[in-house]
Structure 1
Amino acid sequence: MAGSRPPAPAPGATRGSVQGPAQGPVAVTGIGLVTAAGVGVKRAWSEITTGTRPRSLRRPDSLQGLPCDFMYTVEGIDFEDELGRDTLLMDRFARLAVIAAREAVANAGLDAASWDGTRVAVVIGSAHGGLRFYDEQQAVLTDRGPRRVAPKVAPLSVPNGAASSVCRDLGARGPSLAVSTACASGTDAIGTALGWLRAGRCDIAVAGGAESLASRLVFASTCQMRALSTRVDDPAAACRPFDADRDGFVVGEGAGLLVLERPEHARARGAAVRAHVAGYGASNDAFSPVAPDESGAGIEAALRAALADADAAPADVGHVNAHGTSTVINDLVESAALHRVLGDHPLITSTKAMTGHALGAAGGIEAALTALALEEQLIPPTVNLDRQDPAVPLEVVAGSARPARLRCAASTSLGFGGHNAALVLTRG
């Protein structure tokens, strides 16, 4: 019948094409983090693993009067000092990406001034791109007329602003791409880079996600969807993944980027390998523009595809940095799918209570934190998890960071439009 949905696939089945055979992992040699929990890998990791409540929640002027008027913000960067006049050619999400990329490249022991830029790729995901600057200029148009609108609206508002800015800053002249699959964007960007490295299209890839959204229009719309927490009396307790009293997510901003290399390239230059990206899987629910398919078949298919791509068994996965948004439906759908695929042995966390939901940047930030968990053999806690929802059939780490012997971990992402993506990482 026209308009009817096809039946959901059986557990373990996929809709559409199936991932090809595994072609081997790529090396993670550098990590860059710019988050509300801290700027720089060292500070962000330290804050995220403390188990204390988040401290970087602000009420931007643009959100005044809305049911949710707060968000996680990145503090402590003087962009003009860091980027000079180049900052004028970047929306805030692109600035965050450049800062993260510089840290990741330095962390990898690479010198952008001397590498062969034609063999360096950049893939950065973003759900909204430069909507912040777009909103500002829309207000200028309304209040002051067309002759006062900045001539750079187009180059600053497009979703490829972060990728192009990082290419320009680093002299990366290889293939570049902006990925926009809503909240799965950062994960899909890393998966894309994995494919390019395996195919020999580049030797090095800078990949992940970047986002900065303080758009009054988008916030107002998302409030109308009842997706955001309205715990305005206690914002620091608002984001509470897998908790029985969760009521919605809290938006965050930031950037999380990895430097990925073909293993032989990393070996040839004697690079320290921090982790490996071993597998990637993606799917679409083909169900709703906003709601996840409550069967969880889509995220289940993506995770099974990532495991197959990594040539890993479910029993190999000791930890998952889950999407864990703190919305009622998402947490139930995702946790049930994780349990079906992995059973109850992996230790689960959601770091969004410390970073906020950074939308298109979330997958990049969480892949970076998964790599750090493998490197440090330490799982960050899920902050604000006071009473785990009894319908969540997983062991979710709460209270304090948990030491663990890890050799394989996963990171999962679900996005509006039915986009699902998963990465499997292994210890370096």
Structure 2
Amino acid sequence: MSIIEDLKWRGAINQQTDAEGLEKLLSKKTIALYCGVDPTGDSMHIGHLIPFMVLKRFQLAGHQPIVLIGGATGSIGDPSGRTSERSLQTMEVVQKNAQKLTQQMEKLFLKGDSADNTFKIMNNYDWLSKLSLLEFLRDYGKHFNVNTMLAKDVVASRLENGISFTEFSYQILQSVDFHYLFQTQNVQLQVGGGDQWGNITAGLDFIRRMEGTEAEAYGLTIPLMLKSDGTKFGKSAGGETVWLDPEKTTPYEFYQFWLNQADDDVVKYLKYFTFLEQSEIEALEKEVAEQPHLRKGQRRLAEEITRFVHGQEALEEAEKITHALFTGNVGNLTTQQIEAGFKNMPHALANKEAMNIVIWLVETGIVQSRRQAREFVSNGAILINGTKVTDLDYEISQKDAIGDRYIIVRRGKKHYTLVTLK
């Protein structure tokens, strides 16, 4: 199966500028291709990841991927997908963000596989910052027709509310990038999200103006990712953005996000976000249809994407926390694992001094009354760090704390509270 056939099977192609021409090119040679990201934040989220999964598939198929960090364009702001002007960031912030995104990309593309030596990260600040205003207007601006630029969806959608010349000129800068990479790196394909179609086609037009109509360059966009219920993909159940930075979204939270995907979505995500073969995904699709309660598809999805983004060690940590919370055997968790696993669970504070468990449960707000607390303890429904406590006279204190700081209380089968000693 060719790379394009594989992408089609995965539902990962939205539009192509010349599908027949690209397929013919790929059948003859390996190519260099690129996908860009602007450092408007200090981390990518999983929505950003989708086009780079396509770039990674090209890498694994033997092609030469280039990740373009928009150190220059990120200081301007892409109007795509926006209804109002972006607040400009300082160059210092943009450069710091660019460094962090570079580190994330290196983790994704430098995995020790045979394609590693083909991978490059470039930053468009290196060439765009050298342009003078006169050079920009004479050498580049002269080749762009304002009427054509106004007709691009990304600009046309902004005309009612207004668009600054700064953001209006973004497509020229991205076109310069494509042409620069075509000239210096022999890049023949740009990959991007569906909202990048106008920018990509502008770049192709510019390349042909500069290099001639026979110049072989192509564009490919990916579909907009929606969940089966029609809502936008990329948020956790609590509405939080799922980041690639482990400081923003822990590997455990990242793993849980994928583990909790709906049956109606999991096969689509297995196709998009894993590198599993078609036969294995089809086998998992059958498992999902026939035995959905086993959630084999979700587990495999969570394993594959967590390993890809965060590595094997982080995956094992996430699985350990998940297993501990599922079984209730939380006593062997480290303080770091507790902080990751209980980040979004109920929290309470308690003093370090010893206190009768019945009173302590009420003081921490885990139960509403002493009568209720006595019932829970007597019935074996209270677990402290995974161990049942049935003695109504039990004194709970700092000796029960994990790392002298945390006490994990489970009430019943599912209700966890993390108590922090102060």
Q: Normalising by the residue count of structure 2, what TM-score does the alignment of the two structures yield?
A: 0.26
Question: Radius of gyration: which is bigger?
Answer: 2
- Say which structure is richer in helix: 2
Normalized per residue, the structure richer in strand is 1
Structure with greater contact order relative to length (CA < 8 Å, sep ≥ 6): 1
| TM-score, reference length from structure 1 | 0.26
